[in-house]
Amino acid sequence: MPMTFPRLIPQDLQQWLQSQAEHLDQEAGGAPALLPALAQSGLLGLGVPQQQGGAGGSAHDALEAIAQVAEVSLTAAFVFWGQRALIDYLLRSDNPLPRERWLADLLSGRLAGAVGLSNVMKFLAQIEPLQVHAAPAADGWRLQGVLPWVSNLRPEGFVVVAAVQRPDQPAPMVVAIESRLDGVQRSADLALLGMRASNTAAIALEDVAIDAAAVLAPQAPPYLRMARPPFLAMQCALSLGLVRASLRAARGTPSGRVVLQARMEAVEQGLAQATAELHAGLADQRFVADVTALFVLRMRLAQLVQEAVQLELQAWGGRAYLDGCAPGFARRWREAAFIPVITPSLTQLQAEIDRQPT
């Protein structure tokens, strides 16, 4: 039996996202209200133990909630995923101090959570060197470097997780860096084609001092291997929601496009199978030992996104290219173009798969 979930998005949040979806995609001005709206809905605490201040439940609930938000707005779901991924990194650290310092503010939305691990993903795939370096100091570490592409960097305050290289260790460590620290410099928002309210920018670190409470893992590789499955599984939820939305829109066109029925059913079947595999892999933790299976699943879902949005285009026909005639289509087209480049990108995943022994 496939897993079924109730509608997890409160009605007031659903209505707000529907009214704001285009604005969130095209205007950075929608960003200030987005994270507080997600936090007030209670969604950020799904899958977080109640003793840690969360709402309880499991990772399955968090994944499904992200998917349901993505059905309405990928920008909102992307911010949700970034916040929830950062929370998950804190929960999985052997160091309790970061949780004591930041978890409550992250769950309440008072502080934004960002995962600046694009560089380390490329580093682990042997694509580029680490761009943040740590020098030992009497009370901790001093950081120098750049994080060129990070999302959910709310100017009101954020904490970002990054991997940094130490001079005395071949393996990097994973640390959390708060925006209020001296030497943390946030750029202006990057000029994205869409997803403008995602607060995506670059960070420069100039002699930033961090203490022991900021170290999530002294050795990044084993920590990231443990944390990567839920990180990627929740990321896959972005694709789940977008496929659902495009299929629903395609079926709702005035003509119905009966000629596309078989292809729509094939995508729906592919989506159901991928969803079942994703939840099963989380439940039995198979992705910890075999992360390649999760890489392949993420790539399959990205392909389903492209097929679904193509079906939506073909169901509407030429009307999809007329402004205002196919509600939400142009936004979903841009959202679909974003899926392949989210870190780890499909190119990075393929490179990692190719490196695996046959």
The string of DSSP codes covering 148-201 is EEES---TT-EEEEEEEB-TT-SS-EEEEEETTSTTEEE-PPP--SS-GGG--E
C-alpha closest to that of 227 among 150, 274, 277, 287: 287
- Average pLDDT in the 175-183 region? 98
Per-residue pLDDT tens digits for 202-212: 999 999 999 99
pLDDT per position as a tens digit, 136-176:
998 899 999 999 999 999 999 999 999 999 998 888 999 99
pLDDT value of residue 169: 86
247-297 confidence digits (pLDDT tens): 999 998 876 678 899 999 999 999 999 999 999 999 999 998 898 999 999
pTM more than 0.75: yes
Look at residue 349 in the predicted model and tell me its pLDDT.
86
Q: What is the pLDDT of residue 128?
A: 73
Nearby residues of 293 by Cβ (< 8 Å), 6 or more positions away: 281, 286, 287
Where is average pLDDT lowest: 89-103, 299-313, 320-334? Answer: 320-334
Burial class of 92 by CB neighbour count within 10 A (0 to 12, 13 to 18, 19+)? middle
Answer whether 205's CB lies under 8 Å from 132's CB: yes
Confidence of residue 345 (pLDDT cuts 50, 70, 90): confident
State the Cα angle at 48 between 43 and 49, rounded to 5°: 135
- The predicted model gives 297-325 an average pLDDT of 94
pLDDT range class, residue 127, cuts 50, 70, 90: low
Q: What is the mean pLDDT of the chain?
A: 93
Q: Are 272 and 280 in contact (CB under 8 A)?
A: no
Q: Interior CA angle at 17 toward 59 and 89, to 5°?
A: 30
Q: What is the pLDDT of residue 1?
A: 45
* Residue matched to tokens 């260790």: 169
Least Cα distance to 89 among 161, 147, 163, 39 occurs for: 161
d(C-alpha 183, C-alpha 169), whole Å = 24
Give the pLDDT confidence score for residue 126 in this predicted structure.
67
pLDDT tens digits for 26-57? 999 999 999 999 999 999 999 999 999 999 99
User: 225 pLDDT exceeds 90?
Assistant: no
Q: How far is Cα 331 from Cα 69, in angstroms, rounded to an integer?
A: 15
Residue with tokens 């997600």: 38
211's CB contacts (< 8 A; 6+ apart) are 139, 140
Q: Report which of 307, 313, 305, 308 is spatially closest to residue 330, judged by C-alpha positions.
A: 313
